[in-house]
Chains A and B, each alone.
Chain A
Amino acid sequence: MHATPNLYDYWPYAGRPKIEWPGRKKLAFWVAPNIEFYEFMPPTNPKRQPWPNAIPNVQQYSQRDFGNRVGHLRLMELLDKYNLRGSVSLNVALCDHHPEIIEDCIKRNWEFFSHGIYNTRYSYGLTPAQEQAVLDDSIRTVEAATGQRIRGYLAPALTHTEDTLDLIAENDFWYSCDLFQDDQPQPLKTKTGKLVSLPYSLEVNDVITYSVMGFDPDRYTDILKRHFDQLLLEGEKSGTVMCIPLHAYLVGQPHRMKPFEDALKHICAHSDDVWFATGKEIAKHFIDNYWDQSMADIAARGVTTGGTGFRHG
């Protein structure tokens, strides 16, 4: 076990070289609906129980299923209204269980990235070969269902091994949503490839605000607006990223949709300054235009540690 992941070097926010998003926009905004499947009778993992209390968990399971049956359509139609395309954080087994939802996303030209097979199968204890099998399955399943080659990864239920980031880089993924250290894209120190840590945010994630912090819908809206305003202000100096990660079983509840719409309305009123994009588009723009300048500036700060993730220099 290591004290630090060594997946990135220290890079203070102040004085970084400027990032400009396409069209000289200041903030790249993306929405990441998590489209998930939680199993009714998941196997247990020695490191984590899939459901609190007992298996099965009828209330928790059925609330997730509500997201799939009711919430997603609501959310999709709301995003349509504001011309926003989602970047779907997908438990890929959903392609088998509920292909209708996938079709709805394809019609809207949404992007897909992998969020593992099921949200009830964790990475803990997997060998590199087993984790590779999850990635193969992810790439193959999404390609068969949608024709898209996935480029992004968010480990299922945010569970990792020391190999996760190296493996996704090796499999030609472009971005990871697993790290929360920054409001700008960050180059990661993987053995191969150019893997970007893309700001995904836990702080404005509806699981955190609703389930963990217990905020009410108006407070969530207030937080989203303030978060956006501050990042837009800072984007003047150097482009920032704001992501709203969503779960239809939470934000798609009837009592939460109207306040959430107020937040979207506020954000979408700033189209002169905001690049509405998908995860892959932001990652690619960063890799093509800013990877080298970022690496040079990080090195110039004089505190790089060498090595790569979990292989300390």
Chain B
Amino acid sequence: MDKSYLEYPKRAYGQDHDFYEWRQVKDRPKLAWDNGVKVAINLIIPLEFFPLNPSGVPFKHPGAMVTPYPDLRHFTVRDYGNRVGVFRILDALDDADVKATFAVNGEIAKRYPPLIETIKSAGHEIAAHGLSTDHIHHEGLSFEEEQTLVNQTIDGFNDIARGWPSPKVEDGERLIRGWLSPARNQSRQTLGCLRDEDIDYCLDWEMDQVPVQMETFCGPIMGIPLSYELSDFTLLHTRRQTEESWLKQIQNATSLLAEEHDRFGSQMLGLTLTPYIMGQPFRIWALRALLKHIKKTEGLEVFRARDIADQAWRQS
């Protein structure tokens, strides 16, 4: 190996990057959610476009095409989520009177505008989820290329909103405030690019049990954690655990976070509900059971990501 391989230029106290400072849970200022809520739940529903001909650059997005072209099998299995599965999730949310955050690929907004309108009309939040699963942000892109990707994505949403018949976006309300990167991958410039486009929170980083303010060359951005381990994709799809177990693990998590409230203040859990996974007829019961559990448990409440961001900014 070259001798640089055994040189450690960032070897010093704290993080090895400048996005945020090192801080342990015991040193964290206590956060307090509105209404005395001890544990906030953020439900993130990704609406993804998986092209039939992905470039796979710089890597294949989880859930992307598998078999040789044309992989009609995986294309249609994923598309099922956007046509059918998402409506089961919407019904479950509606029945529980819960508002969620839908992280939407720009390509989905462009191709399926009625879906975006339905979600917005129901009072849910739309966050940008990049252009598509084949537009991954990574170090191989120039700043300009990343800026174009972010611009294109956000402009796409605003174009659609302009076509809505009645004003669904109130005066002064920004339609898109939040961002989830495709495959949650970023380059070192991504956060700055997002902040430059007035994105005020990002769902890619999960280094804490509360939102963490991050610093970029364009100003601060709030990092709102999203659990990889409890996401339905990881737990039910990749690891093939059961819906019963998914439910139980989330219940265990929320009760532990509630127990920690006295010591560490309000905390949160970000949960991913993937329409082509959780929206399956045989799985939707588990989401309904979770929502029921949340509704009947004191100190637990579902907030949209933007409501979490507002509360975090106020207390930062």
Contact = CB atoms under 8 A, between A and B. Distances in A.
A14 B115 CA distance: 10
A204 interface: yes
A5 B69 CA distance: 10
A3 B54 CA distance: 8
Interface string B108-140: 000111110010000000000000000000000
A1 B83 contact: no
Given A3-B53, A4-B51, A222-B282, 20 more contacts: A3-B51, A10-B111, A12-B83, A12-B115, A14-B118, A124-B68, A158-B72, A160-B70, A162-B70, A178-B72, A178-B73, A181-B79, A182-B80, A202-B77, A213-B240, A226-B285, A230-B88, A230-B281, A234-B281, A310-B70
A215 B240 contact: yes
Interface string B189-208: 00000000000000000000
Contacts of A13: 83-84, 87
A172 interface: no
Contacts of B240: 213-215
A37 B76 CA distance: 26
A160 B67 CA distance: 10
Contacts of A181: 76-77, 79-80, 83-84
Contact of B75 (A5, A215, A301): A5
Interface in A137-161: 158-161
A183 B112 contact: no
Nearest to B286: A226
Interface string A152-184: 000000111110000000000000001111110
B52 interface: yes
A180 B118 contact: no
Contacts of B111: 10, 303
B242 A219 contact: yes
Contacts, number: 102
Contacts of A214: 240
B73 A180 contact: yes
Interface in A1-17: 1-5, 7, 10-14
A158 B51 contact: no
Contacts of B285: 226, 230
Give the 8 A-B CB pairs with smallest separation, nearest first.
A230-B281, A1-B53, A227-B282, A3-B51, A226-B282, A47-B68, A181-B76, A13-B87
A98 interface: no
A10 B83 contact: yes
B295 to A, nearest CB: 21
A224 to B, nearest CB: 8
Interface in A90-143: 124
B280 interface: yes
B154 interface: no
B84 A204 contact: no
A76 B242 CA distance: 30
Q: Which of A162, A214, A222, A226 has the most chain B CB within a 10 Å cutoff?
A: A226
Q: Which of A1, A161, A204, A213 has the most chain B CB within a 10 Å cutoff?
A: A1
